[in-house]
């Protein structure tokens, strides 16, 4: 199964340039930082060289991450 991209209808402005960006759910589980950010809402502004990411939610509790992963596998 490939990595899925979940995009929300809401748009948030980039903190640097104020360009509206799509809000997505972080589903990256590959590395340590990805595992810590799993399930968080973020937006990425591609008007900058590196594609600046802005986080819109706090990190989830490890128990919540486990439940989210279990539900994703069941779906």
What's the average pLDDT block by block, 10 residues per block, for the chain (75 residues)? 65 84 78 70 82 82 80 59
In the prediction, which pLDDT does 12 show? 85
Range of the domain at 58: 6-74
In the prediction, which pLDDT does 73 show? 57
User: What is the number of domains present in the chain?
Assistant: 1
Place of tokens 């992963």: 69
- Phi, psi at residue 55, to the nearest 5°? -90, 135
Structural domain contains residue 45: yes
Structural domain contains residue 65: yes
Half-sphere exposure of 49 (CA within 13 A, CB side): 0
33/17 Cα distance (integer angstroms): 26
Q: Does the pTM of the predicted model rise above 0.85?
A: no
Structural domain contains residue 21: yes
Structural domain contains residue 1: no
Structural domain contains residue 20: yes
């Amino acid at each position: 199964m490939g990595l899925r991209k979940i995009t929300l209808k809401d748009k948030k402005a980039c903190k640097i340039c104020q360009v509206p960006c799509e809000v997505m759910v972080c589903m990256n589980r590959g590395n340590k930082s990805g595992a810590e950010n799993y399930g968080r809402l973020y937006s990425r502004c591609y008007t900058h060289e590196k594609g600046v990411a802005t986080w819109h939610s706090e990190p989830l509790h490890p128990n919540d991450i486990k439940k989210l992963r279990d539900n994703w596998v069941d779906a």
